[in-house]
């Protein structure tokens, strides 16, 4: 399974649409088999970027900011998006592949949001699955 | 114990002021790690201070300028403050929020730089209401980033500079009037009238008096002179909407006026000369009407000096998320409520629907949803039935639907998406790549430039398709 992370230096880029480089890692049975940094053109062209990731065989996109209105475009291409990821990109990929807890910013932050739980249900689902460690330890 | 600073002001007072102001305020150290984050900032971004403090500011704000044009970085490197910079951030729900930011350097008592401060305010309501209240046809009102809409928009400024007649064709609800307005706004006639006439709404006799005007006594009830729309649009732009609906008899009259640039109001013997830029629009296929003899060929070529084709929403499906974002904020601001979230399943249904009524239909659906759904999250149940109707299942209507497809429908797994644009299909991409390389005599720099991609991407694709 291939995982992509948009880069800002060595950190996760603040926004998927603005990153000009992506770390693409391939995992196999809980280990990282290969890593490469892929340059990406057309800043802001979501269709193009998602198509490029699809072409590279990416199945999971770990990123910090991802406009939720574009989420169906990623789903359509078979790419699962986990938002709110922060910190060093390599560490993040390792944590994901090894099924460890991901450094995610909360999406249910303010009291009113906590009351209604997360609005981005897919993300809550991802986090819940990750926390129960049934997601990341899945065989590739 | 109350601590005092150099100015002998209790720190509690600073805290109180810091958390009481309506503007979001945060400070960073010289590594761009957040050191203070006030209550307004928590509210706008949706992340509590205890989670934000200690993190790099780009992780919390996710602004469109973070990566390449960071205002705070510029201020810290030059020492110069900046003010009122328009920025888009993503809040905790991954909703874009427009804000205006001002930045300044923080110094200690010795004048040494210890970090920076950013003050920002949420301008989403202001932006939405300003856009809604403005009756001007602005370029910015045409929402979309797809290739199809960009092709249209790129032509507008060029076309606006001339006085050539424009014919805008496209399905109902695609934004033909917005393009007509944008052409007028960018033309030298922008400070002169923009007059719109819906030709389909009026019968011939009324249309004639409406367009050319009449003089007192021309007919029963004509108690005083009335200028026509042509006269009102003098030196400006006349927009004839639904031009395909006028009768053949009126087509002849209109052609004469367009060719000679002069007309006589009803009942008058005096000829009026006007300088009008003409923009016509229709949702009918005029070319076919000309072939069938229902639309005059000479009038067709007279009004079709510059043709525009407005893409249907199905042709620019990738703009749907942007349009949803725009309309939800616009309608919510008008209703005085916070924009609701959409569950993934709702978004998918909205994304997959075929929208025969185009953007207008999408807007109406969202308006209905926001009126009927009071919750914070819009679930599929709030959507009108046609969005997940049985027509999406192949063979449903002729009774050939399989049990599996009906079951898939029930679970929302049936995709109704049209194929993505050809350039995004691997097969067509390979052909386009080969053609570009051949045309450039296998010069990768030239081919990459022609395809609008970098050499790295070109090389990656060449390897993928075995062209390297």
Domain residue ranges in chain A: 2-131
What are the backbone angles phi and psi of residue B336, rounded to the nearest 5°?
Answer: 70, 35
Could you tell me which residue, A117 or B462, shows the higher pLDDT? B462
Is residue B403 in a domain?
yes
Tell me how far apart the alpha carbons of residues B209 and B207 are, in angstroms, rounded to a whole number.
Answer: 6
Domain count, chain B: 4
Predicted confidence (pLDDT) at residue A116 exceeds the cutoff of 60: no
| Other beta carbons less than 10 A from residue B323's beta carbon | 20
Q: Are residues B167 and B278 in the same domain?
A: yes
Distance from CA of A50 to the nearest CA of B (A): 10
Most confident of the following: B288-297, B405-414, B423-432, B443-452: B288-297
Is residue B5 in a domain?
no
* Residue from B75, B131, B63, B68 nearest B100 by CA: B63
Interface test with A, best of B37, B65, B71, B92 (most A CBs within 10 A): B92
Instruction: Please report the pLDDT score of residue B377 as a whole number.
Output: 81
Instruction: Please report the pLDDT score of residue B344 as a whole number.
Output: 76
Could you tell me which residue, B462 or B31, shows the higher pLDDT? B31
- pLDDT tier for residue B140 given thresholds of 50, 70 and 90: low
Instruction: Please report the pLDDT score of residue A107 as a whole number.
Output: 55
Instruction: Please report the pLDDT score of residue B138 as a whole number.
Output: 57
- Mean pLDDT, rounded, for B404-426: 41
Tell me how far apart the alpha carbons of residues B464 and B170 are, in angstroms, rounded to a whole number.
Answer: 38
- pLDDT tier for residue B8 given thresholds of 50, 70 and 90: low
Q: Are residues B152 and B188 in the same domain?
A: yes
Residue appearing with tokens 């590594």 = B31
Contact assignment for B93 to A8 by CB distance below 8 Å: no
Predicted confidence (pLDDT) at residue B222 exceeds the cutoff of 50: yes
Tokens for A109, please give them: 């932050």
Tell me how far apart the alpha carbons of residues A82 and A128 are, in angstroms, rounded to a whole number.
Answer: 12
- Mean pLDDT, rounded, for A13-30: 91
- Mean pLDDT, rounded, for B187-208: 85
- Mean pLDDT, rounded, for A2-14: 94
- pLDDT tier for residue B43 given thresholds of 50, 70 and 90: confident
Could you tell me which residue, B93 or B165, shows the higher pLDDT? B165
Could you tell me which residue, A108 or B297, shows the higher pLDDT? B297
Q: Give the CATH number for residue B353.
A: 1.10.8.60
Q: Are residues B282 and B353 in the same domain?
A: no
Predicted confidence (pLDDT) at residue A4 exceeds the cutoff of 90: yes
Q: Are residues B33 and B110 in the same domain?
A: yes
Instruction: Give the helix, strand, coil percentages of chain B, each rounded to 5.
Output: 45, 20, 35
Predicted confidence (pLDDT) at residue B221 exceeds the cutoff of 90: no
Contact residues on chain B for A46, CB-CB shorter than 8 A: 145, 318
Contact residues on chain A for B318, CB-CB shorter than 8 A: 46-47, 73
Instruction: Please report the pLDDT score of residue B362 as a whole number.
Output: 93
Taking all residues of chain B, what is their mean pLDDT, rounded to a whole number?
81
Predicted confidence (pLDDT) at residue B137 exceeds the cutoff of 70: no
Interface test with B, best of A52, A58, A105, A117 (most B CBs within 10 A): A105
Least confident range of A97-111, B90-104, B382-396: B382-396
- Mean pLDDT, rounded, for B257-277: 84
Q: Are residues B367 and B329 in the same domain?
A: yes
SS3 B107: strand
- pLDDT tier for residue B418 given thresholds of 50, 70 and 90: very low
Q: Give the CATH number for residue B196.
A: 3.40.50.300
Contact residues on chain A for B146, CB-CB shorter than 8 A: 47
Instruction: Please report the pLDDT score of residue B451 as a whole number.
Output: 73
Kindly state whether A45 is in contact with chain B, defined as any CB-CB distance less than 8 angstroms: yes
- β-partners of residue B124 are none
Predicted confidence (pLDDT) at residue A10 exceeds the cutoff of 90: yes
- pLDDT tier for residue A138 given thresholds of 50, 70 and 90: very low
- pLDDT tier for residue B153 given thresholds of 50, 70 and 90: confident
* Residue from B14, B12, B6, B13 nearest B117 by CA: B14
- Mean pLDDT, rounded, for B210-223: 79
Q: Where are the alpha helices (DSSP H) in B261-357?
A: 286-292, 297-303, 320-335, 344-352
Q: Are residues B112 and B254 in the same domain?
A: no
Instruction: Please report the pLDDT score of residue B45 as a whole number.
Output: 87
- pLDDT tier for residue B410 given thresholds of 50, 70 and 90: very low
Kindly state whether A82 is in contact with chain B, defined as any CB-CB distance less than 8 angstroms: no
Kindly state whether B73 is in contact with chain A, defined as any CB-CB distance less than 8 angstroms: no
Q: Are residues B53 and B102 in the same domain?
A: yes
Q: Are residues B65 and B178 in the same domain?
A: no
Predicted confidence (pLDDT) at residue A128 exceeds the cutoff of 80: no
- pLDDT tier for residue B166 given thresholds of 50, 70 and 90: very high
Instruction: Please report the pLDDT score of residue B423 as a whole number.
Output: 43
Predicted confidence (pLDDT) at residue B4 exceeds the cutoff of 70: no
Could you tell me which residue, B27 or A105, shows the higher pLDDT? B27
Task: Calculate ∠ Cα B333-B336-B337, nearest 5°.
Answer: 90
Contact assignment for B46 to A113 by CB distance below 8 Å: yes
Is residue B191 in a domain?
yes
Is residue B137 in a domain?
no
Least confident range of B46-55, B61-70, B421-430, B448-457: B421-430
DSSP-derived letter for residue B187 is S
Instruction: Please report the pLDDT score of residue B144 as a whole number.
Output: 81
- Counting every residue, how long is chain B? 468
- Tell me the torsion sign for CA atoms A49, A52, A54, A57: negative
Instruction: Please report the pLDDT score of residue A29 as a whole number.
Output: 84
Distance from CA of A81 to the nearest CA of B (A): 12
Distance from CA of A99 to the nearest CA of B (A): 22
Contact assignment for B453 to A70 by CB distance below 8 Å: no
Least confident range of A110-124, B281-295, B362-376: A110-124
Predicted confidence (pLDDT) at residue A118 exceeds the cutoff of 80: no
Distance from CA of A129 to the nearest CA of B (A): 17
Contact residues on chain A for B43, CB-CB shorter than 8 A: 110
Contact residues on chain A for B427, CB-CB shorter than 8 A: none
Q: Are residues B445 and B323 in the same domain?
A: no
Hey, what long-range contacts does B30-38 have (CB within 8 A, 24 or more apart)?
B30/B76, B30/B113, B30/B114, B30/B115, B31/B56, B32/B56, B32/B57, B32/B58, B32/B72, B32/B73, B33/B57, B34/B60, B35/B115
DSSP-derived letter for residue B234 is T
Q: Which of B280, B310, B340 is the last residue of a domain?
A: B310
Task: Calculate ∠ Cα B356-B96-B80, nearest 5°.
Answer: 140
Percentage of residues of chain B with pLDDT beyond 90: 24
Tell me how far apart the alpha carbons of residues A6 and B107 are, in angstroms, rounded to a whole number.
Answer: 34
DSSP-derived letter for residue A17 is G
DSSP-derived letter for residue B167 is E
Tell me how far apart the alpha carbons of residues A49 and B454 are, in angstroms, rounded to a whole number.
Answer: 13
Q: Which of B310, B329, B353 is the last residue of a domain?
A: B310
Instruction: Please report the pLDDT score of residue B395 as a whole number.
Output: 36
Q: Are residues B154 and B251 in the same domain?
A: yes
Instruction: Please report the pLDDT score of residue B25 as a whole number.
Output: 94
Q: Are residues B379 and B401 in the same domain?
A: yes
Q: Give the CATH number for residue B430.
A: 1.10.10
Could you tell me which residue, B407 or B85, shows the higher pLDDT? B85
Instruction: Please report the pLDDT score of residue B134 as a whole number.
Output: 54
Interface test with B, best of A2, A4, A13, A14 (most B CBs within 10 A): A14
Predicted confidence (pLDDT) at residue B460 exceeds the cutoff of 60: yes
Instruction: Please report the pLDDT score of residue B133 as a whole number.
Output: 59
Could you tell me which residue, A123 or B381, shows the higher pLDDT? B381
Q: Give the CATH number for residue B65.
A: 3.30.450.20
Contact assignment for A68 to B454 by CB distance below 8 Å: no
DSSP-derived letter for residue B386 is G
| Domain span including residue B240 | 147-310
Contact assignment for A109 to B46 by CB distance below 8 Å: yes
Instruction: Give the helix, strand, coil percentages of chain A, each rounded to 5.
Output: 35, 30, 40
What does the pLDDT look like over A24-67, one tens digit per residue?
A: 999 988 889 999 999 987 777 777 888 889 999 999 999 998 88
* Residue from B374, B350, B124 nearest A116 by CA: B374
- Tell me the torsion sign for CA atoms B389, B391, B395, B400: positive
Predicted confidence (pLDDT) at residue B68 exceeds the cutoff of 80: yes
Q: Are residues B349 and B432 in the same domain?
A: no
Is residue B3 in a domain?
no
Whether domain A2-131 has CATH 3.30.420.130: the reply is: yes
Nearest CA in chain B to A9: B67
């Amino acid at each position: 399974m291939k995982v992509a992370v948009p880069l800002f230096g060595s950190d996760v880029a603040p926004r998927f649409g603005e990153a000009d480089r992506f770390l693409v890692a391939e995992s196999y049975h809980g280990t990282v088999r290969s890593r490469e940094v892929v340059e990406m053109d057309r800043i802001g062209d979501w269709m193009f970027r998602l198509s490029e990731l699809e072409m590279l065989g990416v199945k999971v996109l770990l990123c910090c900011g991802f406009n939720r209105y574009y989420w169906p475009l990623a789903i359509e291409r078979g790419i699962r998006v986990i938002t709110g990821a922060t910190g060093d990109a390599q560490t993040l990929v390792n944590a994901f592949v090894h099924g460890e807890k991901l450094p995610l910013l909360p999406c249910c932050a303010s009291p009113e949001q906590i009351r209604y739980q997360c609005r981005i249900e897919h993300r809550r689902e991802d986090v819940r699955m990750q926390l129960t460690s049934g997601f990341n330890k899945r065989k590739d | 114990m109350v601590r005092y600073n150099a100015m002998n002001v209790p720190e509690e007072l600073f805290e109180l002021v810091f958390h009481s102001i309506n503007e979001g305020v945060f400070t960073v150290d010289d590594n761009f790690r957040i050191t203070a984050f006030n209550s307004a900032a928590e509210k706008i971004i949706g992340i509590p201070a205890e989670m934000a403090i200690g993190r790099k500011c780009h992780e919390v704000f996710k602004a469109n300028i973070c990566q390449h044009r960071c205002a705070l970085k510029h201020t810290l490197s030059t020492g110069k403050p900046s003010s009122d910079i328009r920025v888009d951030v993503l809040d905790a729900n991954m909703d874009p929020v427009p804000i205006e930011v001002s930045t300044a350097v923080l110094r200690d008592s010795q004048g040494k730089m210890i970090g920076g401060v950013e003050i920002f305010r949420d301008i989403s309501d202001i932006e939405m209401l300003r856009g809604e209240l403005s009756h001007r046809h602005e370029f910015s009102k045409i929402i979309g980033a797809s290739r199809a809409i960009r092709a249209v928009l790129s032509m507008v400024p060029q076309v606006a500079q001339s006085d050539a007649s424009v014919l805008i064709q496209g399905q109902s609800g695609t934004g033909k009037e917005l393009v007509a307005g944008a052409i007028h706004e960018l033309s030298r006639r922008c400070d002169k009238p923009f007059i719109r006439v819906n030709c389909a709404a009026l019968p011939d006799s009324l249309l004639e008096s409406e367009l050319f005007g009449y003089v007192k006594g021309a007919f029963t009830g004509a108690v005083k002179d009335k200028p026509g729309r042509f006269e009102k649009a003098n030196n400006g732009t006349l927009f004839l909407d639904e031009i395909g609906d006028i009768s053949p008899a009126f087509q002849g009259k209109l052609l004469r006026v367009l060719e000679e640039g002069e007309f006589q109001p009803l009942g008058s013997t005096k000829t009026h000369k006007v300088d009008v830029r003409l923009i016509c629009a229709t949702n009918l296929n005029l070319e076919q009407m000309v072939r069938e003899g229902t639309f005059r060929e000479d009038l067709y070529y007279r009004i079709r000096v510059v043709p525009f084709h407005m893409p249907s929403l199905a042709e620019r499906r990738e703009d749907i998320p942007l349009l949803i974002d725009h309309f939800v904020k616009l309608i919510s601001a008008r209703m005085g409520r916070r924009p609701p979230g959409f569950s993934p399943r709702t978004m998918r249904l909205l994304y997959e629907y075929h929208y025969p009524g185009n953007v207008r239909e999408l807007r109406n659906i969202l308006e209905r949803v926001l009126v009927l759904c009071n919750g914070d999250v819009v679930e599929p149940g709030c959507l009108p039935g046609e969005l997940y109707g049985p027509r999406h299942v192949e063979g449903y209507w002729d009774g050939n639907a399989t049990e599996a497809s009906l079951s898939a429908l029930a679970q929302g797994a049936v995709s109704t998406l049209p194929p993505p644009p050809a350039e995004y299909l691997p097969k067509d991409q390979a052909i386009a790549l080969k053609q570009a390389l051949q045309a450039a005599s296998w010069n990768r720099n030239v081919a990459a430039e022609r395809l609008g991609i970098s050499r790295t991407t070109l090389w990656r694709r060449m390897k993928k398709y075995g062209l390297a």
